[in-house]
Amino acid sequence: MKRRSFLRAGGAGALSLLLGRAPVRAAQDRPNIVWILAEDMSCHFGYQGERTIATPNVDRLAREGTVFEAAHVTCPVCSPSRSALITGMYQTTIGAHNHRSFRGKLKNDLAAPVRPVPELFREAGYYVCNGANPTADALGKTDYNFTYSGALYDGKDYTGRAPGQPFFMQFQLHGGKKRNAKVPNPVSPDAVTLPPYYPDDPVMRQDWAEYLNSVLDVDREVGEIMARLRADGLAENTVVFFLTDHGISHARGKQFLYEEGTRVPFIVWAPGRVPAGETRKDFIAHIDMAATSLHFAGIPVPDYMEARPLFGDAARPRDFVVSARDRCDETVERLRSVRKGTFTYIRNFYPERPHLQPNAYKDKKPILVRLRELHAEGKLAGHPAEGMFAAPRPKEELYDRATDPWELNNLADDPAHASTLAELRGILDQWIRETGDKGQIPETEAAYDADMAVYLASQKRNPDYVHILEKNIAQMKAWAADGK
């Protein structure tokens, strides 16, 4: 949508709120909507070809529902991803693109007419709730980079609704953050097959095995949620979405725009409402879950919304999908990517800095610690992982996933792919203009300093971590002073 069209649609949306919302379906015709959202997890379930572990519960959802094979998040970081998902808008459009950028100041207000999806469900008569696990014994994670009025959720569990009232429920699962998951028959590091962009190293194997154990734990939790819905007599009138908020927290995953970071599992399970056992290969953005949920509930999808329904007469397949990453904690970055056909295009706006800039949050993880050790010892020479430390790095990257599924062979300088590079470059430039990508305007130094002051204060009980943060902040400022 062009920027002017976006603003016109916004005005129409605001007017509709003044005139009264469109009618919705009668209560008995409206299904319950359930989102199952796991953290920090890439495409490592059985239905996606993972053979090291068995994931029968998620596989059953895939077998009985519709699978979207080419689903990508609009940002591979928690708070921007969740901010986008809960509004059906690109985080870069609504100013929620910097990870937890509200530390040192008030959060951004959502510009009218954009509103969080739970508000739309509540106005349509739904009970809206957000629980922390299958039993919803605590409120679930939000992590939104914007303000909203009042309580966004009615409760933590659908049991609080009125008799016969439809509900919109989110189950938040710790997923890949739960590396100490206790599961029967845990994965042995010897059984792990690492992606070729990581060196075969015992520490790397152990970390990957623990990650796969967390996948097993998520599968168990999904089974518990579905069993609960069936036991409560709700399954047949419930639409269930399963996805993750972004990819695994590894060197090319979380925070980055390769497949490991942006591509996520995405299943829609809805008996009688979606084709069972169908696999769709069209590109979708994870925000499309917002519009699709409204569609199933019979709630009009706002004209301003950048999300698209995936089913019904209003469904419009995407020709391409865009992902974006901006500042994460202390680490200043700006990355944008386009996927179209079999190609991935990535633009690095700070090419003088290495891919693996220092980041205290990620650098404490065993796999990143080990990679930095191997690099310092000169043991990554000739290995693809060495490129993660190169500075400068390419301004542009182009990969053909048909012949290079691991995205290792950069074709950006290959004359044979010049036309593809130009096309995808043009698509990104147009997307930046039309969506009003707010990442175009760098944060002020004062805003950065305010956020970092609060961040440092929050870690004062961990002096070692504070020392690392201070060192990283100094590096960011030194690069900026040098024009990098």
Percent of the chain with pLDDT over 90: 87
**Paired strand residues for 340:** 343
State residue 12's pLDDT score.
33
State CA 158 to chain mean position distance. Answer: 25
State residue 179's pLDDT score.
83
Q: How far is CA 468 from CA 222, 264, 363, 396, 465, in A?
A: 37, 31, 10, 30, 5
Sign of CA dihedral 254, 255, 260, 263: positive
Q: Which two tokens stand for residue 384?
A: 């693809």
**Quick count: other Cβ atoms within 10 Å of Cβ 319?**
10
Backbone phi and psi for residue 372, each to the nearest 5 degrees, phi listed first? -65, -35
State residue 6's pLDDT score.
36
State residue 109's pLDDT score.
80
C-alpha 75/C-alpha 52 separation (Å) is 28
Q: Using DSSP bridges, classify how beta strands 167-173 and 66-72 pair: parallel, antiparallel or unpaired.
A: unpaired
Sequence-distant (6+) residues with CB within 8 A of 356 are 251, 368, 371, 372, 388, 389
CATH topology of domain 3-312: Alkaline Phosphatase, subunit A (3.40.720)
* pLDDT (mean) for 185-210: 96
Percent of the chain with pLDDT over 70: 93
116 vs 451: which has the higher pLDDT = 116
State residue 107's pLDDT score.
66
C-alpha 309/C-alpha 291 separation (Å) is 5
Q: Using DSSP bridges, classify how beta strands 321-325 and 127-131 pair: parallel, antiparallel or unpaired.
A: unpaired
Q: pLDDT tens, 301-341?
A: 999 999 999 999 999 999 999 999 999 999 999 999 999 99
C-alpha 184/C-alpha 173 separation (Å) is 19
State CA 241 to chain mean position distance. Answer: 14
Rounded to the nearest 10°, the torsion over CA 217, 223, 228, 234 is 140
Q: Where are the domains of the chain?
A: 3-312
**Quick count: other Cβ atoms within 10 Å of Cβ 362?**
21
State residue 1's pLDDT score.
40
Element at 370 (helix H, strand E) = helix 366-376
Q: Does the structure show a pLDDT above 60 at 13?
A: no
C-alpha 412/C-alpha 415 separation (Å) is 8
What burial letters (b/e) apply to 54-69, b meaning 16+ CB within 10 Å? ebebbbbbbebbbbbb
Sign of CA dihedral 113, 119, 121, 124: negative
Backbone phi and psi for residue 299, each to the nearest 5 degrees, phi listed first? -95, 125
State residue 19's pLDDT score.
30
* pLDDT (mean) for 30-55: 97
Q: pLDDT tens, 135-155?
A: 999 999 999 998 887 789 999
Q: Which two tokens stand for residue 79?
A: 């708070």
8 A C-beta contact, residue 340 and residue 427: yes
Backbone phi and psi for residue 262, each to the nearest 5 degrees, phi listed first? -105, -30
Instruction: Give the 3-state secondary structure of residue 348.
Output: strand
* pLDDT (mean) for 183-191: 96
- In the block, tokens 């739960």 appear at 178
Lowest mean pLDDT among 112-116, 177-181, 211-215, 379-383: 177-181
State residue 377's pLDDT score.
97
Q: Does the structure show a pLDDT above 60 at 29?
A: yes
Q: If we measure between CA atoms, which residue out of 244, 198, 175, 211 comes closest to residue 50?
A: 211
424 vs 103: which has the higher pLDDT = 424
Give the DSSP letter of residue 159: G
**Quick count: other Cβ atoms within 10 Å of Cβ 424?**
25
**Paired strand residues for 72:** 263, 285
State residue 49's pLDDT score.
97
**What percent helix, strand, coil does the chain show, rounded to 5?**
40, 15, 45
Q: Does the structure show a pLDDT above 50 at 23?
A: no
pLDDT grade for 342, boundaries at 50, 70 and 90: very high
Rounded to the nearest 10°, the torsion over CA 61, 66, 67, 73 is -100
**Paired strand residues for 194:** none
- In the block, tokens 């943060």 appear at 469
Q: Which two tokens stand for residue 36?
A: 């199952």
C-alpha 398/C-alpha 420 separation (Å) is 9
Q: Does the structure show a pLDDT above 70 at 78?
A: yes
State residue 2's pLDDT score.
44
State residue 251's pLDDT score.
95
Q: Does the structure show a pLDDT above 80 at 28?
A: no
Q: Does the structure show a pLDDT above 80 at 5?
A: no
* pLDDT (mean) for 355-374: 94
C-alpha 87/C-alpha 307 separation (Å) is 9
Instruction: Give the 3-state secondary structure of residue 34.
Output: strand
Round the average pLDDT of the chain to a whole number and report it: 92
State residue 110's pLDDT score.
87
Q: Does the structure show a pLDDT above 80 at 158?
A: yes
Q: If we measure between CA atoms, which residue out of 211, 213, 207 comes closest to residue 186?
A: 213
Q: Does the structure show a pLDDT above 70 at 9?
A: no
Lowest mean pLDDT among 57-71, 104-118, 465-479: 104-118
